[in-house]
Amino acid sequence: MPATSMPLSDSRQRHLDGPAKHPAAVVVPPGPTHSVTPPSTSNIDRPSLGVRWQPRQPAIGSLSGDGVCWVATHGGAGATTLAAVVGGVDVGCRWPDAARHEPARILLLARTHEQGLRAASRALNAIREGRHPAGMELVALVLVADAPGRLPVPLLTRIRLLRSVVPVQRVPWIPQWRLGKTVDRLPGQLVRVGGLIQAAQRGAGR
């Protein structure tokens, strides 16, 4: 299903566009055309000077209507682990590739630290401006806890602003993953993310 969004007020926009400290490790690249309906807002978070876009060749073919892929907005977001646990295709820090017939539906992924949230904002801004492959559909933004415990208020505020633009799912800190171990029982937040993937796949089969 196409991404939907709510316009941000000027004051909330200025808060979200706060001064960038460092560019994110990886920013997802532009695509040729767009199909995700952009919100009528100003930029969510402008890429800071010096950010390098990954080079892409013109796409040949089309994205697949089957499956869902994980698009990490920065390195270390956890796409490989989540794809192994709840399903989906890990495409790394890039948009799905039409030449590889990769899934059109994406789950955007970021950690909940400051740089992760800024990377998510830049990726959403790229979607808003249509810099993604034709036919791509955003299912949700998935935010993975970067540490145990509660988030500081500034990070929670930023997440609330992101939630006003796109559907947001949060994944808690799972200590077993840090040690490379499996989890006997998935937390409810992960079960919901798995449900999103299953629902998107059922919708593709209709």
Q: Give the domain CATH number at 135.
A: 3.40.50
| Whether the predicted pLDDT of 49 surpasses 80 | no
- Tell me, yes or no, whether 19 lies in a domain: no
Does 35 map to a domain?
A: no
pTM of the model: 0.69
Least confident of 58-62, 134-138, 198-202: 58-62
Q: What domain count does the chain have?
A: 1
| Burial of 206 per CB tally in 10 Å (0-12, 13-18, 19+) | exposed
Q: Specify if 26 maps to a domain.
A: no
53 assigned to some structural domain: no
Percent of the residues in the chain that have a pLDDT greater than 90, as a whole number? 58
Q: Which amino acid is at 201?
A: Q
Q: Is residue 133 part of a domain?
A: yes
Closest listed residue to residue 142, CA positions, set 119, 133, 151, 154: 119
In this structure, is residue 28 part of a structural domain?
no
Residue 126 counted as domain residue: yes
Domain encompassing residue 130: 1-6+62-175+185-206
Q: What are phi and psi of 170, to 5 degrees?
A: -115, 140
Amino acid sitting at position 26: V
How is residue 134 written in tokens? 């034709």
Q: Is residue 141 pLDDT above 60, yes or no?
A: yes
**Residue 15 located in a structural domain:** no
- N residues, the chain: 206
